[in-house]
């Protein structure tokens, strides 16, 4: 499980361990061998080896950085003072900046208090350590195909009649090298083991019971035509902002296009909808006041993902004018006249924190599967939209949906005896 600590403030998460759970048992393509090759994997720890804040702020940390105290094994009292610095005058701020400041002032003490409590609980259970292993970060060269570019090329081709009638294609374990049409069909690994397969001349790890559609927003027909209704839908939209435009790291979507996503057609009655939102007040207001009402989703809660280093420090000072150490999640539930909430489902709490060490990989969000489990029905159908990785028992969609499943992101641990591994299917 990814949950290390759970209390009234929220959860301390170990995202890397969650990823590892799906690759404990793997099998690779036979490559001409008479028997399959089994092995275990781990996600490369270097991607979560964040030891220091991006911007140092000695007064605004969750844990002590006092060298002598650390060497003596002592825990120094947490200093929750904010930095003293010259702040821009209120009349110098535009409307968006004023709204962002007002929101930050409203939630900053919730972030401080909750993060302190979660960090303390994590230390008590041995999760945080002052004595860190000596890991040297070296950039890893990852040879990936340009997934988003391929999606642009593929959408020029018409959808096949077969994909409209039978939109799901299943991985064939007896012929793992068989070609798959990733752009017109939902691809499914129905087995209880991770398969390493070759897709578009690259090696990818497909978790057990995972499904995905590689496409952009214009080619969602296979997902809609599948007939699946989901109990949980998580979205991480590529919001428009100046930083994205300058860096040209990925294509963004205007709010008007995000609004056209077929969430109502994909949601079951009572479906929980979760949207990651940037810290721009304009985007948060759009989700709450326009997007969710358009989809028939009632806003129920706002949670905060708080990003910390492996020592428990905020990755950015809490009062930083440039970037904040948290991101917002807006949670709601689809309601219709036929909606009946199961007595086993808890009410979504209004405010909770998700505290974790972030991946250094861009837009690599922590999984919400474990923390949302009490708020959806048992044995749910779950969908992630704008995904960049796969999860067991989830359907994932996006134009880079298998990006972080590339085998280069994983380290191979050991080879297992094939006779000790069983392959089953739902």
Give CA–CA dist 226/163, Å, rounded: 10
Q: Quote the CA–CA distance of 309 and 301 in Å, as a whole number.
A: 26
Of the given ranges (12-21, 285-294, 314-323, 377-386), which has the lowest mean pLDDT? 314-323
CA distance 406 to 197: 10
Q: Give the pLDDT score at 80.
A: 47
Q: Mean pLDDT of all residues in the chain?
A: 82
Please tell me the least confidently modeled range out of 238-247, 253-262, 410-419: 238-247
Classify domain 147-304+322-406 at the CATH topology level. Answer: Rossmann fold (3.40.50)
Closest CA to 425 of 190, 186, 172, 171: 190
In tens, the pLDDT along 286-296 reads 999 999 999 99
pLDDT of 421 > 80? The answer is no
Q: Is the pLDDT of residue 310 over 90?
A: no
Q: Which of 275, 274, 177 is nearest to 232 (CA)?
A: 274
Q: Which of 334, 388, 378, 331 is nearest to 354 (CA)?
A: 331
Domain residue extents for the chain = 147-304+322-406
pLDDT, residue 54, reads: 79
Contact 39, 413 (CB under 8 A): yes
- What radius of gyration, in Å, describes the C-alpha atoms of the chain? 22
Q: Hey, what's the torsion of the CAs at 142, 183, 364, 234, to 10 degrees?
A: -170
Decide if pLDDT at 398 tops 90. Answer: yes
- Cα(237)–Cα(195) distance, integer angstroms: 28
Residue 396: pLDDT band by 50, 70, 90 thresholds? very high
Name the token pair of 248: 């040209």
Lowest-pLDDT range of 266-275, 331-340, 358-367, 396-405: 331-340
321-365 pLDDT tens trace: 878 999 999 999 998 655 555 555 678 999 999 999 999 888 899
pLDDT band at 75 (very low <50, low <70, confident <90, very high): very low
pLDDT at 143: 47
35 three-state secondary structure: coil
Helices (H), 212-331: 221-225, 242-247, 255-258, 263-266, 281-286, 292-295
Indicate if the pLDDT at residue 238 is higher than 80: yes
Longest dimension (CA), the chain: 73
Q: Please, how many CA atoms are within 13 Å of residue 346, restricted to the half-sphere of its CB?
A: 8
- State pLDDT tens for residues 102-152: 888 999 999 999 999 999 999 899 887 655 555 555 554 444 557 777 777
pLDDT tens for each residue of 247-265? 455 578 999 999 999 999 9
Portion of the chain with pLDDT greater than 70, in percent: 77
Q: Is the pLDDT of residue 13 over 80?
A: yes
What residue has token string 């008007």? 256
Q: Among the listed ranges 45-59, 259-273, 361-375, which one has the minimum average pLDDT value?
A: 45-59
Check the CA dihedral 105-107-110-112 and report its sign. Answer: negative
| pTM, entire model | 0.86
More confident residue, 131 or 64: 131
Least confident of 21-25, 224-228, 238-242, 417-421: 417-421
What is the tens place of the pLDDT at every residue in 145-187?
Answer: 577 777 777 666 777 666 677 899 999 887 777 788 988 999 9
Distance, in Å, from the CA atom of 82 to the CA atom of 324, rounded to the nearest integer, reads 13
Cα–chain center distance at 244: 19
What average pLDDT does the segment 388-394 reach? 96
> What is the rounded CA–CA span in Å between residue 273 and residue 266?
11
CA distances from 234 to 314, 381, 382 (A): 25, 12, 8
Asked whether 257 and 217 are in contact (CB, 8 A), the reply is yes
């Amino acid at each position: 499980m990814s949950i290390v600590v759970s209390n009234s403030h929220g959860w301390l998460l170990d995202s890397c361990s969650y990823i590892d759970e799906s690759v404990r048992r793997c099998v690779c393509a036979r490559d001409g061998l008479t028997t399959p090759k089994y092995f275990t994997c781990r996600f490369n720890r270097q991607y979560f080896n964040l030891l220091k804040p991006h911007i140092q702020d000695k007064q605004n940390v969750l844990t002590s950085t006092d060298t002598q105290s650390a060497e003596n094994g002592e825990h120094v009292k947490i200093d929750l003072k904010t930095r003293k610095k010259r702040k821009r005058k209120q009349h110098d701020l535009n409307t968006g900046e004023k709204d962002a400041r007002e929101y930050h002032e409203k939630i900053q003490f919730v972030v401080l208090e909750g993060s302190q409590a979660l960090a303390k609980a994590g230390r008590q259970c041995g999760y945080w350590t002052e004595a860190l292993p000596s890991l040297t970060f070296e950039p890893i060269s990852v040879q990936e195909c340009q997934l988003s570019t391929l999606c642009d090329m593929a959408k020029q081709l018409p959808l096949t009649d077969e994909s409209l009638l039978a939109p799901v294609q299943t991985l064939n374990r007896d012929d793992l090298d068989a070609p798959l049409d990733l752009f017109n069909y939902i691809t499914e690994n129905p087995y209880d083991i991770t398969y390493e397969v070759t897709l578009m001349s690259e090696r990818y790890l497909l978790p057990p019971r995972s499904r995905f559609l590689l496409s952009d927003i214009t080619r969602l027909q296979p997902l809609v035509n599948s007939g699946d209704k989901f109990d949980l839908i998580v979205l991480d939209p590529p919001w428009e902002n100046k930083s994205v435009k300058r860096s040209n790291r990925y294509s963004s979507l205007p709010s008007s296009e995000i609004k056209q996503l077929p969430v109502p057609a994909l949601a079951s009655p009572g479906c929980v909808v979760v949207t990651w939102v940037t810290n721009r007040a304009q985007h948060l207001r759009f989700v709450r006041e326009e997007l969710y009402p358009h989809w028939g989703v009632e806003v129920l809660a706002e949670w905060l993902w708080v990003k910390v280093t492996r020592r428990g420090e905020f990755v950015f000072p809490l009062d930083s004018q440039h970037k904040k150490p948290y991101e917002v999640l807006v949670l709601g539930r689809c309601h219709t006249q036929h909606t009946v909430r199961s007595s086993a489902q808890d009410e979504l709490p209004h405010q909770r924190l998700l505290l974790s060490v972030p991946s250094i990989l861009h837009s690599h969000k922590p999984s919400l599967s474990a923390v949302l489990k009490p708020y959806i029905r048992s044995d749910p159908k779950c969908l992630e939209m704008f995904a960049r990785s796969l999860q067991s028992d989830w359907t994932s969609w996006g134009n880079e949906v298998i990006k972080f499943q590339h085998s280069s992101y994983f380290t191979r641990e050991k080879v297992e005896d094939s006779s000790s591994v069983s392959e089953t299917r739902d």
